[in-house]
Amino acid sequence: MISVKVLSKNSGNPIKNQKVCIGFSGFWRGFSSNEYTNQDGEVHFNNDPGEGTIYINGKNSYQGRLAGLKIVYI
């Protein structure tokens, strides 16, 4: 499982209702489904860990190893 927590750069507070998607590196991995953050700014994906890119509202927000909880500031 991969979890993403979206926080505000300015306040550090969680941001809800943000569209999050993961694009995985590697020919066969593809993309996760689009999911929206909850009131805690979190979203969970039932995907195996690996290299990839986190997109928040369509913008590349993080690129690298994805495993466990990844915190992203926007």
pLDDT of residue 28: 81
pLDDT of residue 55: 98
Largest Cα separation within the chain, whole Å, is: 38
Q: Could you tell me which residues are beta bridge partners of residue 72? A: 6
For domain 2-73, which CATH number applies: 3.40.50.10420, 2.102.10.10, 3.90.1150.10, 2.60.40.10?
2.60.40.10
Q: pTM to 2 decimals?
A: 0.91
pLDDT of residue 17: 98
> Tens of pLDDT along 7-47?
999 999 999 999 999 999 977 889 999 999 999 999 999 99
Asked if 3 and 43 touch (Cβ cutoff 8 Å), the reply is: yes
Instruction: Number of helices (H) and strands (E) in the chain: give both, helices first.
Output: 0, 7
> Tens of pLDDT along 62-72?
999 999 999 99
